[in-house]
Amino acid sequence: MVYIRDIALPDFPLLLAPMEDVSDPPFRAVCKANGADLMYTEFISSEGLIRDAAKSRKKLDVFDYERPIGIQLFGSDVDTMGECARISTVAGPDLIDINYGCPVKQVACRGAGAALLRDIPKMVEMTAAVVRNTHLPVTVKTRLGWDENTLNVEEVAERLQDVGIEALTVHGRTRVQMYKGDADWRLIAKIKENPRIKIPIFGNGDIDSPQKALEYKNRYGVDGVMIGRASIGYPWIFREVKHFVATGELLAPPTVEERVAMCRMHFEKSLEWKGERAGIFEMRRHYAHYFRGLEGAKQWRMRLVETGSVAEVQAILEEIMAAEPVLVG
């Protein structure tokens, strides 16, 4: 077992990465159904939350079947982050996560996300403020450093543990790298080797197959891995990794029937949580992923993204099931 205070996770837990506009409750439902052990909300702007912006408020929605679930916050102001830890705690998650990794300009250039990697004293102060303002465990997600000349994540791990964080996830890239190049997990392994570090360390970046997950587990000694992009339209990645780590065997890929059923569940959850209009619209970004590699995927997707009718989406999904397209890619 891996513990984040009293949250018991299985050995080598698989975490669903927080992903803006992706890891909302409908998406989390399909990931949970496939074995994700710990999930996070999309990041929530502390400025938005404090202003009571509807978009930020809505992201606080967490459901019992999702547990354990963490709410992820980002921001540039220490007091606002502390206040938001308090607001988020009332929403009833199992933990609060702080984002010190977001590289995008609108976040990092406003002093939030990965920008804190350039100001460790402020990062420490902000973390302490969040810890002080919640009774829940606080975790952090960050990157290796700002750029290749400031790879400070080892120091970050120690200092944040000292002010009370209870788990750390590291994405093996710098802010400057954004998503380019390959993730480098060597520094993540060094954090794990540090005898002062007692909290769970989770590795993140480029896990896209069961083989890679096991290889990285063995090579870098992490307590678990966080999976992001590979889960989009392919939540089976969680059960596939679990099965491979436990048995050394690869599961057969999902059948057309399973793909349609999962996509339908995602769609229905989307309608339920977002209402019909947004539910239909926001589901459009997922279809290409669900049917990737299937013969005729492009045509199915085009029809799915063009319709504004629930009944028609359902009918097209039925058609895909009946056509039983073969896997070509």
- Which sequence positions are flagged as catalytic? 102
> How many Cβ atoms from other residues are within 10 Å of residue 147's Cβ?
13
Instruction: Name the residues that contact ligand FMN, by CB under 6 A.
Output: 17-20, 22, 42-43, 72, 99, 101-102, 141, 171, 204-207, 227-230
CB of 153 to ligand FMN, least distance (A): 13
At residue 142, the 3 state secondary structure works out as strand
What is the rounded distance in angstroms from the CA atom of residue 208 to the CA atom of residue 228?
9
The nearer residue to ligand FMN, 54 or 322, going by C-beta atoms, is 54
> Locate tokens 């995927």: which residue?
297
Q: HSE (CB half, 13 Å, CA atoms) of 185?
A: 25
What is the rounded distance in angstroms from the CA atom of residue 164 to the CA atom of residue 148?
27
Give the CB-nearest residue to ligand FMN.
228
State yes or no: 229 annotated in a binding site.
yes
CB of 2 to ligand FMN, least distance (A): 19
Q: What are phi and psi of 152, to 5 degrees?
A: -105, 15
The nearer residue to ligand FMN, 285 or 298, going by C-beta atoms, is 285
> Locate tokens 């609108």: which residue?
106
* Beta-bridge partners for 165: none
CB of 328 to ligand FMN, least distance (A): 25
State yes or no: 171 annotated in a binding site.
yes
3-state helix, strand, coil in the chain (%, to 5): 50, 15, 35
Query: Can you say whether residue 164 is alpha, beta or left, with left for phi > 0 and alpha for psi between -120 and 50 degrees?
Result: left
For 140, the enclosing helix (H) or strand (E) is strand 138-143
The nearer residue to ligand FMN, 26 or 228, going by C-beta atoms, is 228
The nearer residue to ligand FMN, 43 or 267, going by C-beta atoms, is 43
CB of 208 to ligand FMN, least distance (A): 7
What is the rounded distance in angstroms from the CA atom of residue 189 to the CA atom of residue 161?
16
The nearer residue to ligand FMN, 205 or 256, going by C-beta atoms, is 205
State yes or no: 243 annotated in a binding site.
no
State yes or no: 286 annotated in a binding site.
no
At residue 25, the 3 state secondary structure works out as helix
CB of 102 to ligand FMN, least distance (A): 6
The nearer residue to ligand FMN, 8 or 109, going by C-beta atoms, is 109
Query: 79: which 2 tokens?
Result: 């007091």
CB of 196 to ligand FMN, least distance (A): 25
Provide CB contacts within 8 A for 107, sequence distance 6+. 74, 113, 114, 115
On whether the CB atoms of residues 12 and 224 are closer than 8 A, the answer is: yes
State yes or no: 190 annotated in a binding site.
no
* Residue stretches of the annotated binding site: 72, 141, 171, 228-229
* Residue stretches of the annotated binding site for FMN: 72, 141, 171, 228-229
